[in-house]
Structure 1
Amino acid sequence: LVFLIFNKMENSSEIVSFVLTAYGNVGDLKYLYFVIILFWYLFICVANTVLIVVIRVDRRLHEPMYILLCNLCVNEINISTSLYPLLLSQMFSDSHEVTLPWCFLQMCCMYTSAPAEFCSLAAMAYDRYISVCHPLHYNVIMNTERVFFMILLVWIYSFLSVILSFSFIFSLKFCGNNIENVYCDHQFLIGLSCSLSVHSFIADIFFVFVSIFIPFNLISVSYVKILAICRKTSTENKQKAVTTCTPQIVSVSNLFVGCIFQSIDSSVIVAQLPHETVATDPQSSCGLQLNSSRYNKAFEYIPLGIFWAL
């Protein structure tokens, strides 16, 4: 499918590469920036990889919640890898050119991370809902095979969301090749097309709806049902439920609002952005705080996990 899309893209446009014009001339400071960005990228990859290895080697962490947490770590590596390697390679380039296939591949990888993040969080909220509201059936419903099947569905859904939302871009004819950004973004690509259509607006609305609104509503419903069940229990359980759920609800809401504002900002004022654009990790810019004892438990096992991994 990807090959057919790239083939259609190359046949529909005479543009063979784009120029990322947001890279300014910073002189010798580029070496400092390179080291800082490289260190940050390696830190993200190592931290998430260590957590995945710890959960893999420690059988006490072979639970649905930690398996889903591994999927979040994989997604974090995905979004970072789709941004930082190209950013690092372009810092020492004089032309700052990127070919069409790589540009679209980067765009697809970056946009896939948004629905993957929210769908993974929705799966985790569903896990908590089953654990609290149907504890006797938890082991039957949330078995290992079903959890991995949920993860597979998360990535299939995320990939299809991007393809269905932005496939029209692959047939556009471009009248220019200068992207005023440090990475490929669909709004900038649409701005370079020879003719604008209503497809762009519809695609943005559709993508935000399927990748953010639907998973966020599922998360909200799960936590509302959890709190409703806990209201009927003792005061101690009520306090425990509020203490556990409130930070997660606030964090997910913060991520939701951040992504919505980022979508609005990129679509409304993209043409007004200055050349000196600051590169940020879209996922990290609206970071999620996972304040739960279940996550802290995983970090407590990190030294032991590293020992067994070595």
Structure 2
Amino acid sequence: MDNVSVITMFTLAGLNGTANYRVTLFALTLLCYCVIWLVNVTIIMTIIVDKNLHEPMYIFLCNLCINGLYGTAGFYPKFLSDLLSSTHVISHAGCLLQGFVLHSSACADFSLLVLMAFDRYVAVCRPLVYHSVMTKEKISVCLFFAWLLPICLVLMSTITTSTSRLCGSHIPKIYCINFLIGKLACSASIASIIIPAFNYTFYFFHVIFIVWSYMHLIRKCIFSSENRSKFMQTCLPHLLCLIIVVVCLLFDLLYIRFGSKELPQGVQNFMAIEFLLIPPLINPIIYGFKLTQIRNRIIGSLFCLFHTYA
């Protein structure tokens, strides 16, 4: 029993049986990762460069895209290197770090989406006080806590997981998360139960707040054509992004806990990767196409670039 906790490496079993199409999978994954970087960096740089976009909604969107790059950086580089390797292992510290990045990125997504929902609520339902409520100072404080709280909450969970005595080293997935590391513990501690439960409850109330804000938004927009136009232009993209994030994360969480292990490994891998593929890729595209100012700025930049090199 003295040796059960001395585990320095974990085995990632998700890529077993992929040797025959490893090169194809590597090329597709690399292409997806490049596209994720392209669309997110395009939105980020467009908002940073154009001073007309230095408004709360666009600042929150910029942070959402940065968080998308942060979260995917915790998965894709390691996954790509595993595709080129015959052994799929990760160190204990690397596993904890990967779990921390993925968890904190998912939590930060909800924090930023809450800020965006609050911004839309004030803009549509209380337009007269919008500029007094959404000041630069208040936005800075909100963003600071939107990043700090997920990091602190997930860090507590990661520290608890790191101190657990482990009785195994087999991770049945293509990446590490705290839940799977915790399942390898010889015994569950009270902290390993209470802290995740608190975190889930905390972010469940984030979802409740967003639902509450959209109930007021929809009620306000039903009888006003001007508000309906504002809702379709700025609230609809946020609502679509929110649905994508919630569905992907909820699907992944439910599958981890209740999903069948008899499904083909390729299907299991897609279910594991979908929240690291769909939201970071689709959300910037939705905002880029739907928000007129961002779309016009990107088209204008591409037009100028084309004429420069033509």
TM-score (norm 2): 0.82
Report the counterpart of residue 256 of structure 2 in structure 1.
266
Contact kept in structure 1, 2:245 and 2:275, CA below 8 Å: no
Give the direction of change, closer, same or farther, for the CA distance of 1:160–1:215 in structure 2 (3 Å limit): same
Q: Does 1:57 align with 2:49?
A: yes
Displacement of 1:61 in angstroms is 1.1
Q: Specify the alignment match of 1:219 in structure 2.
A: 210
Aligned counterparts of 2:23 and 2:12: Cα–Cα separation in 1: 19
CA distance in 1, matches of 2:258, 2:289: 40
Give the deviation of 1:281 after TM superposition: 3.9
Aligned to 1:210: 202
Letter in 1 for 2:128: L
Offset, 1:246: 6.0
Deviation for aligned residue 1:117 = 0.9
Query: How big is the shift at 1:53?
Result: 0.6
1:268-293 C-alpha deviation (Å, 9 max, x unpaired): 34877765541414244466585798
* Residue equivalent to 2:300: 304
Residues 248 and 274, structure 2, Cα contact 8 Å, conserved in 1? no
| More displaced stretch, 169-178 vs 281-290 | 281-290
In the other structure, the counterpart of 1:19 is 11
Instruction: Give the corresponding residue for 2:275.
Output: 282
Percent identity between the aligned chains? 27
Q: Which runs of no fewer than 5 residues in structure 1 stay unpaired?
A: 1-10
Cα deviation, residue 191, structure 1: 2.3
CA shift in 2, pair 1:43/1:248, >3 Å: closer
Q: Which moves more between the two structures, 47-56 or 214-223? A: 214-223
1:295 to 291, 294, 307: 291
The answer to whether the Cα contact below 8 Å between 1:122 and 1:218 also exists between their aligned partners in 2 is: yes
Deviation for aligned residue 1:43: 1.0
1: CA distance, partners of 2:240 / 2:265: 34
For residues 90 and 247 of structure 1, do their structure 2 counterparts lie closer, same or farther at Cα, with a shift above 3 Å needed? closer
1:169 counterpart = 2:158: no
Give the structure with the larger helix fraction. 2
Partners of 1:305 and 1:147 in 2: CA distance: 28
Structure 2 residue 129 is matched with structure 1 residue 133 = no
Q: How far is the alpha carbon of 1:29 from its aligned partner? A: 2.3
Check whether the contact 2:103–2:177 (CA below 8 A) recurs between aligned residues: no
Distance 1:264 1:147 in 2: 34
User: Could you tell me the TM-score, scaled by structure 1's length?
Assistant: 0.82
Residue 89 of structure 2 corresponds to: 97
What per-residue deviation string (whole Å, max 9, x for no partner) do you get for residues 152-191 of structure 1?
1101111122123443211111112121211112232122
Structure 1 pair 293–144 and aligned structure 2 pair: CA distance change class (3 A): farther
Cα distance in 1 for residues equivalent to 2:199 and 2:107: 9
Quickly say closer, same or farther: Cα 1:38–1:249, change in 2 above 3 A: closer
User: Quick one: structure 1 residues 219 and 72, their matched pair in 2 at CA, closer, same or farther if it must change by over 3 Å?
Assistant: same
> 1:174-213 counterparts in 2 under 5 A?
174-196=166-188, 200-211=192-203, 213=204
Amino acid aligned to 2:46: V
| Equivalent AA in structure 1 for residue 87 of structure 2 | S
* 2:63 paired residue number: 71
Mean Cα displacement is larger for which, 152-161 or 267-276? 267-276
Distance 1:52 1:235 in 2: 32
- Kept in 2, the 8 Å contact 1:20–1:180? The answer is yes
In 1: Cα distance, 2:258 partner to 2:180 partner: 11
Instruction: Work out whether residues 161 and 210 of structure 1, in 8 Å CA contact, stay in contact via their aligned partners in 2.
Output: no
Tell me: CA distance 1:105–1:48, structure 2 relative to 1, closer, same or farther (3 Å): same
Q: Following the alignment from structure 1 to structure 2, what is the Cα–Cα distance between the partners of residues 28 and 225? A: 53
> Cα distance, 1:227 vs. partner?
3.3
Secondary structure at the aligned position of 2:15 is classed as: coil
CA RMSD of aligned residues (A): 3.1
